[in-house]
Protein backbone atom coordinates (compact mmCIF):
# COMPACT_ATOMS: atom_id res chain seq x y z
CA UNK A 1 0.00 0.00 0.00
CA UNK A 2 1.47 3.38 -1.02
CA UNK A 3 0.64 6.62 0.78
CA UNK A 4 1.34 9.66 -1.43
CA UNK A 5 1.04 13.07 0.23
CA UNK A 6 -0.26 14.59 -3.00
CA UNK A 7 -2.44 12.83 -5.54
CA UNK A 8 -2.86 14.37 -9.01
CA UNK A 9 -5.85 13.02 -10.91
CA UNK A 10 -5.18 14.04 -14.48
CA UNK A 11 -4.74 12.72 -18.00
CA UNK A 12 -1.56 11.28 -19.46
CA UNK A 13 -0.39 14.11 -21.70
CA UNK A 14 -1.15 17.09 -19.45
CA UNK A 15 1.92 19.33 -19.45
CA UNK A 16 0.82 21.18 -16.30
CA UNK A 17 0.88 17.90 -14.39
CA UNK A 18 4.35 17.08 -15.66
CA UNK A 19 5.75 20.52 -14.79
CA UNK A 20 4.35 20.54 -11.25
CA UNK A 21 5.23 16.91 -10.58
CA UNK A 22 8.84 17.59 -11.57
CA UNK A 23 9.05 20.38 -8.98
CA UNK A 24 7.39 18.29 -6.27
CA UNK A 25 9.72 15.35 -6.86
CA UNK A 26 12.72 17.69 -6.85
CA UNK A 27 11.55 18.90 -3.42
CA UNK A 28 11.20 15.26 -2.29
CA UNK A 29 7.40 15.46 -1.95
CA UNK A 30 5.69 12.10 -2.28
CA UNK A 31 3.33 12.52 -5.26
CA UNK A 32 1.32 10.09 -7.38
CA UNK A 33 -0.48 10.72 -10.69
CA UNK A 34 -3.53 8.76 -11.81
CA UNK A 35 -4.92 8.94 -15.32
CA UNK A 36 -8.64 8.21 -14.97
CA UNK A 37 -8.98 7.50 -18.70
CA UNK A 38 -7.24 4.19 -17.93
CA UNK A 39 -9.84 3.09 -15.36
CA UNK A 40 -11.37 0.67 -17.86
CA UNK A 41 -7.96 -0.78 -18.76
CA UNK A 42 -5.24 -1.26 -16.17
CA UNK A 43 -6.28 0.99 -13.26
CA UNK A 44 -9.15 0.16 -10.90
CA UNK A 45 -11.12 2.16 -8.34
CA UNK A 46 -13.41 0.95 -5.56
CA UNK A 47 -15.60 2.83 -3.09
CA UNK A 48 -15.96 1.09 0.27
CA UNK A 49 -19.14 2.14 2.08
CA UNK A 50 -19.12 0.28 5.40
CA UNK A 51 -17.36 0.81 8.71
CA UNK A 52 -14.24 1.76 6.73
CA UNK A 53 -15.52 4.40 4.28
CA UNK A 54 -12.80 5.03 1.72
CA UNK A 55 -11.76 5.05 -1.94
CA UNK A 56 -9.09 2.57 -2.93
CA UNK A 57 -7.17 2.59 -6.19
CA UNK A 58 -5.29 -0.37 -7.67
CA UNK A 59 -2.69 0.83 -10.17
CA UNK A 60 -1.40 -0.96 -13.25
CA UNK A 61 1.72 -2.16 -11.38
CA UNK A 62 -0.57 -3.68 -8.70
CA UNK A 63 0.26 -1.01 -6.13
CA UNK A 64 -2.64 0.20 -3.99
CA UNK A 65 -3.48 3.58 -2.50
CA UNK A 66 -6.29 4.96 -0.32
CA UNK A 67 -7.78 8.44 -0.46
CA UNK A 68 -7.73 8.53 3.36
CA UNK A 69 -3.93 8.52 3.27
CA UNK A 70 -3.71 11.52 0.91
CA UNK A 71 -3.33 15.13 2.12
CA UNK A 72 -4.13 16.98 -1.15
CA UNK A 73 -5.84 15.96 -4.37
CA UNK A 74 -5.30 18.12 -7.47
CA UNK A 75 -8.33 17.42 -9.69
CA UNK A 76 -6.52 18.31 -12.89
CA UNK A 77 -8.99 17.85 -15.79
CA UNK A 78 -9.47 14.06 -15.61
CA UNK A 79 -10.93 12.31 -18.64
CA UNK A 80 -13.85 9.89 -18.46
CA UNK A 81 -12.90 6.38 -19.72
CA UNK A 82 -14.07 5.58 -23.25
CA UNK A 83 -14.43 2.26 -25.04
CA UNK A 84 -14.20 2.77 -28.80
CA UNK A 85 -14.91 -0.90 -29.42
CA UNK A 86 -18.53 -0.39 -28.40
CA UNK A 87 -20.41 0.88 -31.45
CA UNK A 88 -23.93 1.03 -30.03
CA UNK A 89 -24.43 4.73 -29.19
CA UNK A 90 -27.05 4.04 -26.50
CA UNK A 91 -24.72 1.64 -24.69
CA UNK A 92 -21.85 4.16 -24.95
CA UNK A 93 -24.04 6.89 -23.42
CA UNK A 94 -25.13 4.57 -20.63
CA UNK A 95 -21.56 3.54 -19.77
CA UNK A 96 -20.32 7.13 -19.88
CA UNK A 97 -23.14 8.18 -17.54
CA UNK A 98 -22.24 5.44 -15.07
CA UNK A 99 -18.60 6.51 -15.09
CA UNK A 100 -19.54 10.15 -14.57
CA UNK A 101 -21.72 9.35 -11.55
CA UNK A 102 -19.00 7.11 -10.09
CA UNK A 103 -16.10 9.53 -10.58
CA UNK A 104 -17.90 12.70 -9.57
CA UNK A 105 -19.04 11.04 -6.34
CA UNK A 106 -15.53 10.25 -5.16
CA UNK A 107 -15.02 13.54 -3.31
CA UNK A 108 -17.42 12.70 -0.47
CA UNK A 109 -15.20 9.79 0.57
CA UNK A 110 -12.16 11.90 1.35
CA UNK A 111 -11.65 14.62 3.93
CA UNK A 112 -8.44 15.85 2.31
CA UNK A 113 -8.03 19.17 0.48
CA UNK A 114 -9.31 19.14 -3.11
CA UNK A 115 -8.03 21.64 -5.68
CA UNK A 116 -10.75 21.94 -6.78
CA UNK A 117 -13.50 19.56 -5.72
CA UNK A 118 -15.47 18.09 -8.65
CA UNK A 119 -18.70 19.63 -7.35
CA UNK A 120 -17.15 23.11 -7.10
CA UNK A 121 -15.73 22.78 -10.61
CA UNK A 122 -19.08 21.67 -11.96
CA UNK A 123 -20.91 24.68 -10.50
CA UNK A 124 -18.23 27.20 -11.44
CA UNK A 125 -18.19 25.97 -15.04
CA UNK A 126 -21.74 27.29 -15.54
CA UNK A 127 -21.19 30.60 -17.33
CA UNK A 128 -24.61 31.99 -16.44
CA UNK A 129 -23.93 31.34 -12.74
CA UNK A 130 -20.49 32.96 -13.00
CA UNK A 131 -21.89 36.11 -14.56
CA UNK A 132 -24.70 36.44 -12.03
CA UNK A 133 -22.33 36.02 -9.07
CA UNK A 134 -19.78 38.42 -10.59
CA UNK A 135 -22.45 41.07 -11.00
CA UNK A 136 -23.75 40.53 -7.45
CA UNK A 137 -20.33 41.30 -5.94
CA UNK A 138 -19.87 44.43 -8.03
CA UNK A 139 -17.80 43.30 -11.01
CA UNK A 140 -18.79 44.90 -14.30
CA UNK A 141 -20.02 42.42 -16.92
CA UNK A 142 -21.11 42.86 -20.56
CA UNK A 143 -24.81 43.00 -21.37
CA UNK A 144 -25.56 39.33 -21.93
CA UNK A 145 -28.30 37.09 -23.25
CA UNK A 146 -28.20 33.29 -23.41
CA UNK A 147 -30.79 31.95 -25.81
CA UNK A 148 -31.85 29.58 -28.57
CA UNK A 149 -34.29 32.18 -29.94
CA UNK A 150 -32.80 33.91 -32.97
CA UNK A 151 -35.52 36.59 -33.02
CA UNK A 152 -34.31 37.88 -29.65
CA UNK A 153 -30.84 38.45 -31.09
CA UNK A 154 -32.31 40.30 -34.06
CA UNK A 155 -33.95 42.70 -31.57
CA UNK A 156 -30.51 43.42 -30.11
CA UNK A 157 -29.09 44.02 -33.56
CA UNK A 158 -31.98 46.35 -34.42
CA UNK A 159 -30.82 48.48 -31.49
CA UNK A 160 -27.45 48.74 -33.30
CA UNK A 161 -25.74 46.91 -30.44
CA UNK A 162 -22.47 45.32 -31.53
CA UNK A 163 -22.44 41.67 -30.39
CA UNK A 164 -20.06 38.79 -29.98
CA UNK A 165 -21.08 35.17 -29.44
CA UNK A 166 -19.52 32.13 -27.82
CA UNK A 167 -20.42 28.68 -26.56
CA UNK A 168 -21.99 28.06 -23.16
CA UNK A 169 -20.22 24.93 -21.96
CA UNK A 170 -16.67 23.75 -21.40
CA UNK A 171 -16.52 21.36 -24.37
CA UNK A 172 -14.44 22.96 -27.12
CA UNK A 173 -15.14 22.80 -30.84
CA UNK A 174 -13.18 24.13 -33.85
CA UNK A 175 -15.94 26.70 -34.39
CA UNK A 176 -16.46 27.61 -30.73
CA UNK A 177 -14.08 30.54 -30.41
CA UNK A 178 -15.42 33.96 -29.47
CA UNK A 179 -16.47 35.86 -32.60
CA UNK A 180 -18.28 39.05 -33.49
CA UNK A 181 -21.60 38.78 -35.30
CA UNK A 182 -21.31 39.65 -38.97
CA UNK A 183 -24.15 40.46 -41.40
CA UNK A 184 -23.64 36.99 -42.90
CA UNK A 185 -24.52 35.44 -39.50
CA UNK A 186 -27.99 36.96 -39.31
CA UNK A 187 -29.49 34.44 -41.71
CA UNK A 188 -28.09 31.61 -39.60
CA UNK A 189 -29.74 32.66 -36.33
CA UNK A 190 -32.54 30.15 -36.86
CA UNK A 191 -29.98 27.39 -36.19
CA UNK A 192 -29.98 28.48 -32.53
CA UNK A 193 -33.10 26.38 -32.15
CA UNK A 194 -30.80 23.33 -32.15
CA UNK A 195 -28.15 24.71 -29.79
CA UNK A 196 -28.20 27.82 -27.55
CA UNK A 197 -25.29 30.23 -27.28
CA UNK A 198 -24.15 33.25 -25.28
CA UNK A 199 -24.42 36.68 -26.91
CA UNK A 200 -22.77 39.71 -25.33
CA UNK A 201 -22.23 43.33 -26.15
CA UNK A 202 -18.87 43.80 -27.82
CA UNK A 203 -16.42 45.41 -25.39
CA UNK A 204 -13.75 47.47 -27.13
CA UNK A 205 -10.64 47.22 -25.00
CA UNK A 206 -7.04 48.28 -24.70
CA UNK A 207 -6.09 44.73 -23.72
CA UNK A 208 -7.26 41.44 -22.29
CA UNK A 209 -6.25 40.48 -18.76
CA UNK A 210 -5.71 36.83 -17.89
CA UNK A 211 -5.73 36.27 -14.15
CA UNK A 212 -4.44 33.11 -12.48
CA UNK A 213 -5.37 32.68 -8.81
CA UNK A 214 -3.63 30.02 -6.72
CA UNK A 215 -5.00 30.02 -3.20
CA UNK A 216 -5.00 33.74 -2.42
CA UNK A 217 -2.10 34.62 -4.72
CA UNK A 218 -3.13 36.60 -7.80
CA UNK A 219 -1.06 36.66 -10.99
CA UNK A 220 -2.35 38.86 -13.80
CA UNK A 221 -1.04 39.08 -17.36
CA UNK A 222 -1.86 41.81 -19.85
CA UNK A 223 -2.42 40.60 -23.42
CA UNK A 224 -2.38 43.25 -26.16
CA UNK A 225 -4.95 41.41 -28.24
CA UNK A 226 -6.25 44.67 -29.71
CA UNK A 227 -3.18 44.95 -31.95
CA UNK A 228 -3.24 41.31 -33.09
CA UNK A 229 -5.12 39.24 -35.61
CA UNK A 230 -7.78 38.10 -33.12
CA UNK A 231 -8.96 41.08 -31.01
CA UNK A 232 -12.01 39.19 -29.64
CA UNK A 233 -10.32 35.89 -28.74
CA UNK A 234 -6.65 36.19 -27.81
CA UNK A 235 -6.32 32.39 -27.73
CA UNK A 236 -6.07 32.46 -31.52
CA UNK A 237 -3.03 34.79 -31.61
CA UNK A 238 -0.08 34.36 -29.24
CA UNK A 239 2.16 36.68 -31.26
CA UNK A 240 0.96 39.81 -29.42
CA UNK A 241 2.80 41.12 -26.32
CA UNK A 242 2.16 39.35 -23.01
CA UNK A 243 3.42 41.07 -19.83
CA UNK A 244 2.73 41.00 -16.06
CA UNK A 245 -0.07 43.31 -14.95
CA UNK A 246 -0.96 44.82 -11.58
CA UNK A 247 -4.65 44.67 -10.69
CA UNK A 248 -6.04 47.36 -8.45
CA UNK A 249 -6.77 46.22 -4.90
CA UNK A 250 -10.57 46.57 -5.20
CA UNK A 251 -10.78 44.38 -8.33
CA UNK A 252 -8.43 41.82 -6.81
CA UNK A 253 -10.55 41.56 -3.65
CA UNK A 254 -13.72 41.09 -5.71
CA UNK A 255 -12.11 38.26 -7.70
CA UNK A 256 -11.12 36.56 -4.45
CA UNK A 257 -14.67 36.97 -3.18
CA UNK A 258 -16.00 35.37 -6.37
CA UNK A 259 -13.64 32.43 -5.86
CA UNK A 260 -14.79 32.09 -2.27
CA UNK A 261 -18.47 32.04 -3.28
CA UNK A 262 -17.75 29.38 -5.87
CA UNK A 263 -15.67 27.40 -3.30
CA UNK A 264 -12.61 27.38 -5.56
CA UNK A 265 -8.97 27.21 -4.47
CA UNK A 266 -7.62 27.63 -8.00
CA UNK A 267 -8.94 29.26 -11.17
CA UNK A 268 -8.18 31.44 -14.15
CA UNK A 269 -10.26 34.51 -14.96
CA UNK A 270 -10.60 36.52 -18.17
CA UNK A 271 -11.14 40.27 -17.99
CA UNK A 272 -11.10 43.06 -20.57
CA UNK A 273 -9.46 46.40 -19.75
CA UNK A 274 -11.15 49.35 -21.45
CA UNK A 275 -9.46 52.57 -22.57
CA UNK A 276 -11.09 54.24 -19.53
CA UNK A 277 -9.25 51.85 -17.23
CA UNK A 278 -12.29 49.75 -16.29
CA UNK A 279 -12.14 45.98 -15.89
CA UNK A 280 -14.96 43.97 -17.48
CA UNK A 281 -15.45 40.42 -16.21
CA UNK A 282 -15.87 37.85 -19.01
CA UNK A 283 -15.59 34.42 -17.41
CA UNK A 284 -13.91 32.17 -14.87
CA UNK A 285 -12.38 28.77 -15.60
CA UNK A 286 -11.99 26.56 -12.50
CA UNK A 287 -9.45 24.37 -14.26
CA UNK A 288 -7.87 26.82 -16.69
CA UNK A 289 -4.43 26.55 -18.23
CA UNK A 290 -1.54 28.77 -17.19
CA UNK A 291 1.62 27.13 -18.55
CA UNK A 292 1.65 29.30 -21.70
CA UNK A 293 1.67 32.39 -19.46
CA UNK A 294 4.68 31.04 -17.59
CA UNK A 295 6.53 30.52 -20.86
CA UNK A 296 5.62 33.95 -22.26
CA UNK A 297 6.16 36.05 -19.11
CA UNK A 298 8.55 33.99 -16.93
CA UNK A 299 6.12 34.15 -13.99
CA UNK A 300 6.92 30.87 -12.15
CA UNK A 301 3.31 29.68 -11.89
CA UNK A 302 4.23 26.00 -11.71
CA UNK A 303 6.45 26.76 -8.70
CA UNK A 304 3.57 28.56 -7.01
CA UNK A 305 1.17 25.70 -7.76
CA UNK A 306 3.63 23.13 -6.39
CA UNK A 307 4.06 25.22 -3.26
CA UNK A 308 0.28 25.55 -2.80
CA UNK A 309 -0.26 21.82 -3.25
CA UNK A 310 2.39 21.22 -0.57
CA UNK A 311 0.73 23.31 2.12
CA UNK A 312 -0.15 21.56 5.40
CA UNK A 313 1.28 18.17 4.45
CA UNK A 314 1.60 15.64 7.25
Longest dimension (CA), the chain: 66
Q: Give residue 3's pLDDT.
A: 78
Rg, Å, the chain Cα set:
21
CA proximity to 164, closest of 211, 224, 204, 208: 204
- Which pLDDT value is given to residue 80? 87
Percentage of the residues of the chain whose pLDDT score is greater than 70: 88
Q: Tell me, what's the pLDDT at 174?
A: 46
The pLDDT tens digits for 76-91 are: 999 888 888 888 899 9
With cut-offs at 50, 70 and 90, classify the pLDDT of residue 145.
confident
Is the domain spanning 143-201 CATH 3.30.1490.20? The answer is: yes
Using alpha carbons only, what angle is made at residue 232 by residues 228 and 234, rounded to the nearest 5 degrees?
A: 55
Band of pLDDT at residue 171, cut at 50, 70 and 90: low
List pLDDT tens digits, range 236-247: 556 788 899 999
On whether the CB atoms of residues 78 and 103 are closer than 8 A, the answer is yes
CATH architecture of 204-305: 2-Layer Sandwich (3.30)
Give 211-234 as a DSSP string.
EEEETTEEEEEEE-GGGSS-TT-G
Q: What is the mean pLDDT of the chain?
A: 87
What are the residue boundaries of the structural domains of the chain, listed by start? 6-115, 143-201, 204-305
pLDDT at 159: 63
State whether residue 295 is helix, strand or coil: helix
The pLDDT tens digits of the residues spanning 260-286 come to 999 999 999 999 999 899 999 999 999
- Cross-strand bridge partners of residue 140: 280
CATH 3.40.50 matches 6-115 = yes
Amino acid sequence: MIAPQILIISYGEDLHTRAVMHILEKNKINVEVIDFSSLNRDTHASIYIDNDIDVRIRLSDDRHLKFSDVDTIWWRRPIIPENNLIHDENIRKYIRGEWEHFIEGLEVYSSCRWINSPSANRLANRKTIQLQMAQEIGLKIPKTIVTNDGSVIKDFLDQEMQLIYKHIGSVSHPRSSTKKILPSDINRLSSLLNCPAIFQERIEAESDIRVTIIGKEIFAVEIRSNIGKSPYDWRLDYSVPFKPHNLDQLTASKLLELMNRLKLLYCTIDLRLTSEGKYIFLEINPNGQYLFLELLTSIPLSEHMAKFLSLNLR
